[in-house]
Amino acid sequence: MQVPLFRLQCGVNSYGWGKVGSESAAARYAAATPVEGFSVESDKRYAELWMGTHPSLPSKDVETQRSLLDLVQTNKALMSTEIVSRYGGKLPFLFKILSIGKALSIQAHPNKKLAETLHARDSKNYPDDNHKPEMTIAVTPFEGLCGFRPLAEIVHFLRAVEPLRDLVGGAAAEAFEKAVSGQEASQDEAVTQKNKAALREVFTKLMQSSQEAITSATQKLTSAAESSPETFATSSASPDTNPANPDELAELVIRLNGQFPNDIGLFVLFFLNFIKLEPGEAMFLKADDIHAYISGDIVECMASSDNVVRAGFTPKFKDVSTLTSMLTYSYAPIEEQKMTPTEYPYMKMNTTAYSSGSSASLYDPPIEEFSVIKTDLKSAGAKATFEPIGGPSIIICTAGEGKISVGPAKSFDMKEGYVFFVGATAECVIESTVDGKDLTTFKAFCELADAPVNGNL
């Protein structure tokens, strides 16, 4: 029987939005357990480290060089029979490290039904028939766009940002304002759906702008951002809805235009929440939620899929009509986009004075395919014991040094960038071995609510 702990070799993708060379956490982590012939090139952009069974970039067991997919399919106990039955013998989640050096496309991920339709129609651009809800946890300070702003903020920008109003058109802007005025706080579902319909109409109008009109509007927008950053996108007529940091917004417009000149994404910015996450903060994105990543290193976990519907900030295939028709058009303040982790209850921590600051935080989105635990061990000798669960796990070390073990027979040294697979029903222990440096790990796992552990419900 396969011992339920092995170290993984994981590949890294190079895309134009990645960070350069060793600035990329994805590249550094890949180099910790390199594929033969791999070395980090100082002038190459490295974007994503993939950890899982997805066929586009499958992980391998370091010792045997067998793919993780082969290992879990030939020994179903590593996954649990329940998860194999439900998800067809492959990991239900894909775990990633993303290193974002410049904006990553305006996008959304299709729900299950739409994914099946898109895949059947265009398997080249939509390679999977699965949905892709995803969760982001910041490793370094992160910037992104997430979900539609509160409606009053969008109304403000349509009034205060002339180039944006020019693209949408005065009649469309006025129709939107009239439709949503005074209705945002309503709890009535009919009013909410009416607001979403109005938002969809005005956003679709923006996304259908001609390139000639976008180029002209961009010149006016960047000129205003450069000449008057302290009053950018503000209005004396509506001071209550002025952006809190107009100079920050002006800098962002200038920066993004430098990365993607004359791109519709510059104007989408005024419709979406600009979100900042500090290390350890997180957000969850349901299928069909619009978003974009701008900068930072993150842990990302998602349902096992590589489907992306793009419409801006990208040289790749854009599908504007699909994007505008699929979105949820949910609107909410930034605070509602963030996830709040909770203490993970199924873990034993030693409680010596030297490790009293150790912690384990659970990020548990409202789906069954994955959850993530962030563990910080504060001193040499500090230990965390993960009790057995009825599903598989992948663990990556992002800082510090230590050991990982399953029972007395199998253990490995653990260092920054090392990745491990832990099989179902295995008790796993991690231990910090170096003073003065936290041992930080992230563990992605799947555990079905009705799955047995060690054969018992």
Catalytic residues: 310
Task: Compute the distance between CA of residue 129 and CA of residue 113 in angstroms, rounded to an integer.
Answer: 8
| 18 DSSP 8-state letter | B
Calpha distance 44→46 (Å, rounded): 6
**Residue 92 class from Cβ within 10 Å (0-12 exposed, 13-18 middle, 19+ buried)?**
buried
Q: Sheet holding 419-422: strands in order across?
A: 60-61, 5-9, 419-422, 393-399, 439-445, 371-377, 359-363, 342-343
The strand pair at 393-399 and 371-377 is best described as unpaired
10: Cβ contacts below 8 Å, ≥ 6 apart: 29, 30, 33, 49, 50, 51, 57, 59, 419
Using CB atoms within 10 A of its CB, is residue 295 exposed (0-12), middle (13-18) or buried (19+)?
buried
**Which ranges of 182-245 would DSSP assign to H, the alpha helix?**
189-207, 211-227
Asked if 103 contacts 264 with a C-beta cutoff of 8 angstroms, the reply is no
Cβ 123 vs Cβ 306: under 8 Å: no
Q: Are 441 and 375 in contact (CB under 8 A)?
A: yes
Q: Hey, how many other C-beta atoms are within 10 angstroms of the C-beta on 127?
A: 17
Are 28 and 22 in contact by the 8 Å Cβ rule? The answer is yes
Judge whether 11 and 18 are in contact, CB under 8 Å: no
